[in-house]
Amino acid sequence: MTITDSARLTAQPHITVMVPAYNEEKNIAQTLRNICDVLQQMSSHWDIVVVDDGSHDRTAHVVQSLVASCRVTLVRFSRNFGKENAISAGFNYAKGDLVICMDADGQHASELMLTMLKRWREGYDMVYAVRQDRAQESSFKLWGSRLFYRMMSASSHIDIPRDAGDFRLMDRKVVDALCALPERNRFMKGIYAWVGYKSIGIPYIPLPRLHGESAYSKLKLIALAWTGITGFSVLPLRLASLTGAILAIIAFAYGAVVVIDTLFFHESVPGWPTVVASMMFFAGVQLLFIGVLGEYLARVYDEVKGRPPYIVAEVVQPEEAAQPAVR
Ligand code: UDP
Ligand code: MG
């Protein structure tokens, strides 16, 4: 049940922090302890859900040792299904009136949850953290993210806030709306914006990773951006139609020029190189856009297969919470 706006100032909401974790054996214990410390200041009702996204290291083992002391529910996937799916599972298992999503690597300062709760009490249903340190990032990430946000805002009717990630607090009604979405190709940044509700950003500077390296290589980031673009806009398909139309007009105009030249000025038709070059160009453009069509078809294929977005191999819960956790 959601807490009404008027009750927010005094309510003691149940808070669930949800943490997706992939190969975080060195980070997860400290992250969970930090979260516990801050949660204790926030409410007397809280718990944590850790989704182990098919880690190859001892992440699940470390989390299991903290199940009782940190009120953790461990949801272990049968293999790595990716962060977006881990987050979706986390929402399904979160019982709280408020759900906060945080990374397992210590980059998200737990103290920011206090500000998030304050904003929720002021009436916001979703409070997202907006990173402020983008200027120090590699030029690939910087320019890539600029291009991505520009493309999304030009082509999609939903407004995805810049530099806001998964670190955010959500009211129960937002979480219920997220869980109700049936799509399998999940691009969470887009989905958060798509569901709407009264939202606000708060600034934060990500801390350095405690140990290890980011699981997101350049290739993975490009794949994620592509999932976002194809999931939330039909711009690539529109570009195909537009390019086709422009090329057809140019070809028609050129054809007219050739006819006029031949009929009235008796000029000889230009030679083969032009023909071959333009044929190759048009063939290239056609193949490119058939590829774009294929990408959308692949998404449709993925959806109609109806496979679940993840498989849960095991759920470990603290004893007092041994009731079914899935809502
Ligand atoms: N993560 C995950 N599944 C994956 C990759 C990452 O659950 O396939 C988790 C990871 O353990 C961390 C969060 O997602 O808690 C963010 O990942 P990472 O730190 O690698 O990414 P970045 O900070 O560069 O966005
Ligand atoms: Mg990280």
Helix or strand or coil: residue 15?
strand
Query: Which atom of ligand 1 is nearest to 213's Cα?
Result: 20
* Residue 261 DSSP label: I
Average pLDDT over residues 123-141: 85
Which residue's CA is the nearest one to ligand 1's atom 2?
83
Average pLDDT over residues 132-150: 80
246: part of which helix (H) or strand (E)? helix 235-260
Q: What is the pLDDT of residue 163?
A: 85
Q: What is the pLDDT of residue 265?
A: 79
Q: What is the pLDDT of residue 323?
A: 52
Which residue's CA is the nearest one to ligand 1's atom 8?
82
- Read off the pLDDT band of 321 (50, 70, 90): low
19: part of which helix (H) or strand (E)? strand 15-21
Dist. CA 148–CA 135, nearest whole Å: 16
Average pLDDT over residues 261-290: 77
Q: How far is ligand 2, taken at its centre, from the CA of residue 165, in Å?
A: 11
Q: Which residue has the higher pLDDT, 324 or 223?
A: 223
Q: Which one of the ligands is nearest to 63 CA?
A: 1
Q: How far is ligand 1, taken at its centre, from the CA of residue 258, in Å?
A: 59
Which residue's CA is the nearest one to ligand 1's atom 22?
214
* Residue 135 DSSP label: G
Q: What is the pLDDT of residue 326?
A: 53
Q: What is the pLDDT of residue 184?
A: 80
pLDDT of 41 strictly over 60: yes
Within 10 Å of residue 63's Cβ, how many Cβ atoms?
A: 29
Query: Which atom of ligand 1 is nearest to 24's Cα?
Result: 11
Residue type, 100: I
pLDDT of 103 strictly over 80: yes
Least confident of 33-47, 75-89, 201-215: 201-215
φ, ψ dihedrals at 258, nearest 5°? -65, -45
Average pLDDT over residues 110-124: 94
Helix or strand or coil: residue 4?
coil
Q: Which one of the ligands is nearest to 166 CA?
A: 1
Q: Which residues line ligand 1 (CB under 6 A)?
A: 20-22, 24, 53, 80, 82-83, 86, 103-105, 107, 214-216
Q: Which one of the ligands is nearest to 101 CA?
A: 1
Ligand 1 binding pocket mutation candidate from 63, 83, 148 (most atoms within 8 A of CB): 83
Nearest partner of 30 among 130, 108, 128, 117, judged by Cα: 108
Q: What is the pLDDT of residue 270?
A: 64
Q: How far is ligand 2, taken at its centre, from the CA of residue 265, in Å?
A: 68
318, 67 Cβ separation under 8 angstroms: yes
- Read off the pLDDT band of 287 (50, 70, 90): confident
Q: Which one of the ligands is nearest to 51 CA?
A: 1
Q: How far is ligand 1, taken at its centre, from the CA of residue 59, in Å?
A: 13
Q: What is the pLDDT of residue 178?
A: 92
Average pLDDT over residues 286-292: 84
Q: What is the pLDDT of residue 127?
A: 96
Where is mean pLDDT largest: 28-42, 237-251, 252-266?
A: 28-42
Ligand 1 binding pocket mutation candidate from 17, 22, 63 (most atoms within 8 A of CB): 22
Q: What is the pLDDT of residue 202?
A: 94
Q: How far is ligand 2, taken at its centre, from the CA of residue 216, in Å?
A: 9
Task: Compute the C-alpha angle 46/50/55, nearest 5°.
Answer: 170
- Read off the pLDDT band of 130 (50, 70, 90): very high
Q: Give the residue ranges of DSSP H helices in 108-184.
A: 112-121, 139-155, 172-180
Q: Which one of the ligands is nearest to 24 CA?
A: 1
Average pLDDT for the chain:
87
Q: How far is ligand 2, taken at its centre, from the CA of residue 106, in Å?
A: 7
Query: Which atom of ligand 1 is nearest to 105's Cα?
Result: 15
Dist. CA 118–CA 124, nearest whole Å: 9
Residue-wise pLDDT tens digits, 151-199:
888 777 788 888 888 999 999 999 999 999 888 878 888 899 999 899 9
Q: How far is ligand 1, taken at its centre, from the CA of residue 213, in Å?
A: 9
Helix or strand or coil: residue 86?
helix
| pTM exceeding 0.90 | no
* Contacts of 214 by beta carbon, 8 Å cutoff, 6+ apart: none
pLDDT of 327 strictly over 70: no
